[in-house]
Amino acid sequence: MAKDGIGAAVLRKEDRRFLTGAGTYTDDLTRPRQTFAHFVRSPHAHARIGAIRADAARAAPGVLAVLTGADLAADRTGNIPTGWLIHSKDGSPMAEPPHPALAQERVRHVGDPVAMIVAETKDQAREAAALLEVDYEELPAVATLAQAMAPGAPLVWEQAKGNVCFDFQLGDAAATDAAFAKAFKVVSLDLVNNRLVPNAIEPRAAIGEYDRATGDFTLWTTSQNPHLTRLLLGAFTFGVPEHKLRVVAPDVGGGFGSKIPHYAEEMLVLWAARKIGRPVRWTALRSESFMSDAHGRDHLTHAELAVDRDGTFLGLRVRTAANMGAYLSTFAPAIPTYLHATLLAGCYRTPAIHAEVKAIFTNTVPVDAYRGAGRPEAAFVVERLADLAARELGVDRVEIRRRNFIDRFPYQTPVALQYDAGNYFATLDTALDRSRWQTFEERRAEARTRGKLRGIGISTYVEACGIAPSALVGALGARAGLYESAGVRVHPTGSVTVFTGTHSHGQGHETTFAQIVADQLGIPVDSVEVVHGDTSRIPFGMGTYGSRSLAVGGSALVKATEKIVAKARKIAAHLLEASEGDVELRDGRFVVAGTDRAKTFGEVALAAYVPHKYPAGLEPGLEETAFYDPKNFTFPAGCHVCEVEIDPDTGQVQVVAFTVVDDVGNVVNPMIVDGQIHGGVTQGIGQALLEGCLYDDAGQLLSGSLLAYTMPRASDLPSYDVGTHVTACTHNPLGAKGVGEVGAIGAPAAVIGAVVDALADLGVRHVDMPATPERVWRIIRDAQAKS
């Protein structure tokens, strides 16, 4: 094994450029003769668009074009598709209303783009926007799920009666009813999974360019999946053949799911570039991001767990309403259905499960993937019910989990997934140990002497990632397969360029993917360069989300590198005048077994390009491509333990300790894995305690800036204690599972469990997220008033 190969905590190669300010983000690029776009966005949640008077804006200094939905309609272009179709069990078709890139006739959420102004400078574009007059006739709006589902609620779309986009069911309703009928007890809970705004550090940006001579388009964009963007743009939104469209996602400063969807602005900068014959660029303001980046979560759930006298889980019934926002974003329909409902078994042997999901339109920003996408919501439901069942039965919270853990693999859940491997007892035991669970009451008593309420929470979760087997997602309605590709080019000097269809925007693929190749070829990590994010350089790829890059993209890379080794071995055997079967690759050298005759990898690489050095009949060169389509998802699991202290006078919750023991299979880079867990847990704590996107009843975005939307800061967080336990994934060559989302999936239930535990003596059985000081203070005050 190379010393910086798989398993080594190699420092991130990409950090040299990021830490020295040498990264190249979309907004850093300058294109010759570039122009600037500004979007005029709806101030109303729902309104009919009347006259648009653009003469003054058109005449403003520097303005090159003012474009509206009518121009798009005249060009018969610009409808943004969703990437998923949901086939409802009862056969009712999913409503897929049009999503014009610039609103036509109606605006349906605050921030819906109405017009695009292109000018010589950013300021000129913005100043001209103030001169554009748009007549709106306001219409009644629905902003929350409760409003949208109320009888007689105003409709976001005429074709979606009751604002229902689709109904979805999973599991066995009759078996679940039967389980409930024989239950000793049923515990039930109404849960809110709060709406979140992703807030990647780099706002979205796009530059469109058109070459009149060749008819070629280039889009630079902040995308997590440039090939998918090209596919959707080419096949649906803009109708440009793929060979005429290059999509480049250069350095991207975080995405967390919000840069998966294909967005209107990406199409519009290309369209405008062709119209005016010059490059058109746009970068979102932070306040613009709040009303135009896809939001996350936003579920209302009623959940019931049927249990036996000893705490054995018998059945689970879950009814979820999921907010889709005003339009269907790219992955939106898949999130509350295939990513959420399929994980409701959690780590437990619950024999009967039935889930019903209603996807609902509202006059809000579209909702799509946000770190965890559907899986944090599922873990939250299951873990809150496990806590509550323990409490209502008088069983210990740890014990009830242990009693119900899945203990044999593979395990077929009642909700479609088959878990291949795991050891939930091991992660639980290690986490209990590390968190000093047994001695918690001492810490609680000590906190009491300081006037603080201390609580401890636990969450044992499993998730499905490494998205996904194409056969499965294809059958489930995905418009494209979800395999991954990798190319490996060995240069004559023995250095290597890797081409991957995944996209790294903080995850460190330039390092970990180089480690994989270094490991397989026995060469230094610095001899391997990883290229990603450019459709003109990488044959194909499905991008990065669903913690899939290592399990799927890394596995494609293993396959491609194995092909390289196979060919290189032939060449080495020829050079060494040995039989191929006797030659093996060891520590970067091809060695004839049992002898000291050897050729270095570099010597063999050179021979691949020199006639007569490679065997007759073999093609020259050393370059291979592979596609990998996994057999199954991967199933990371783990245990999170959180301790909080609450100030009863202010309601302020402080996380004072957080222990994580995750099982993400074999690990390529433990330092990067720890970093991913830290980031995910931080976002999970953010959801549990701080973050909440709020609309008022008229659909105005109340938390539309960082002044009103609280992101976690260092002072909100403890130092995390992170441990790992490994059970290898059984079906990919790396034995690896995903890590990118585990923190955000496991953490919220542990935090809320701790908050509820701290307040348990007051009779509190649940606290909705985010557990802000105000909410907690009110709960304490009301509980005290009752007692």
Q: Which residues bind ligand MCN (CB under 6 A)?
A: 200, 254-257, 371, 505-509, 512, 544-551, 664-669, 672-673, 676, 679, 736-741
The residue among 758, 770, 760, 783 whose CA lies nearest residue 644 is 758
> Smallest distance, Å, CB 331 to ligand MCN?
11
Query: Residue 350 or residue 547: which is nearer to ligand MCN going by CB?
Result: 547
Least CB distance to ligand MCN at residue 383 (A): 20
Question: If you search the block for the tokens 């990437």, which residue do you land on?
Answer: 83
Residue 275 corresponds to which tokens in the numbers above? 């119209």
CB count, 10 Å around CB of 572? 28
Query: Which of residues 36 and 628 has its CB atom nearest to ligand MCN in the complex?
Result: 628
Minimum distance of ligand MCN from residue 343's CB (angstroms): 15
Report the distance separating Cα 714 and Cα 685, nearest Å: 12
- Identify which of residues 9 and 181 has a Cβ nearer to ligand MCN in the complex: 9
Q: What is the C-alpha to C-alpha distance for residues 189 and 316, in angstroms, rounded to an integer?
A: 12
- Beta carbon of residue 737, minimum distance to ligand MCN (angstroms, whole number): 6
Distance in Å, CB of 549 to ligand MCN, minimum: 3
For residue 11, the minimal CB distance to ligand MCN (Å) is 13
State in angstroms the smallest separation of the CB of 428 from ligand MCN.
Answer: 20
Q: Hunting for tokens 């709406």 — which residue is that?
A: 195
Give residues with Cβ within 8 angstroms of 657, minimum separation 6. 435, 641, 642, 643, 718, 721
Q: What's the closest the beta carbon of residue 45 comes to ligand MCN, in angstroms? A: 28
Q: Which is nearer to ligand MCN, 68 or 512 (CB)?
A: 512
CA 681, chain centre distance (Å):
14
Instruction: Select the residue whose beta carbon is closest to ligand MCN and give its number.
Output: 506
3-state secondary structure of 781: helix
How many whole angstroms separate alpha carbon 384 and alpha carbon 460?
Answer: 11
Token code pair at residue 660? 């994580």
Inter-axis angle of helices 742-759 and 670-685, nearest 10: 40
Residue among 347 and 467 whose Cβ is closer to ligand MCN: 467
Give dist(CA 167, CA 83) in Å, integer: 17
Residue number, 18 or 184, with CB nearest to ligand MCN: 18
Q: Which is nearer to ligand MCN, 154 or 254 (CB)?
A: 254
Question: Of 574 and 731, which CB lies nearer to ligand MCN in the complex structure?
Answer: 731
The residues, any chain, with a CB within 8 Å of residue 350's CB and separated by 6 or more, are 305, 313, 314, 315, 316, 404, 414
In the complex, least distance from residue 676 CB atom to ligand MCN, rounded to whole angstroms = 5
Whether the CA torsion 769, 771, 772, 778 is positive or negative: it is positive
Give the closest residue to 209 by CA, choosing from 280, 262, 276: 280
- Whole-angstrom distance between the N-terminal and C-terminal Cα of the chain? 65
Q: How far is the CB of 524 from ligand MCN (least distance, A)?
A: 18
**Closer Cβ to ligand MCN, 23 or 43, answer by number:** 23
Backbone angles phi, psi at 551, to 5 degrees: -60, -35
Distance (Å, whole) CA 523 – CA 87: 49
Nearer to ligand MCN among residue 81 and residue 675 (C-beta): 675
Q: Which is nearer to ligand MCN, 362 or 732 (CB)?
A: 732
724: left (phi over 0), alpha (psi -120 to 50) or beta: beta
Q: How far is the CB of 295 from ligand MCN (least distance, A)?
A: 14
Distance from C-alpha of 342 to C-alpha of 546, rounded to nearest angstrom: 14
Residue 528, classed as helix, strand or coil, is strand
Min dist CB 529 to ligand MCN, Å, is: 16
> Which CB atom, from 148 or from 482, has the smaller least distance to ligand MCN?
482
Contact call for residues 540 and 227 (beta carbons, < 8 A): yes
Looking at beta carbons only, is 111 or 546 nearer to ligand MCN?
546
> How far apart, in whole angstroms, are the C-alpha atoms of residue 604 and residue 638?
44
Q: Which two tokens stand for residue 572?
A: 């080495």
d(CA 379, CA 461): 6
Half-sphere exposure of 359 (CA within 13 A, CB side): 35
Of 164 and 465, the one with the shorter C-beta distance to ligand MCN is: 465
Residue 731 tokens read as: 């079906």
At closest approach, how far in Å is the CB of 487 from ligand MCN? 18
Bond preceding residue 198 cis, omega within 30 of 0? no
Give the residue carrying structure tokens 């807030």: 199
> DSSP letters along 70-139, please?
HHHHHTT--BPPPSB----TT-PPPP----BSS--SEE-STT-EEEEEEESSHHHHHHHHTT-EEEEEE-
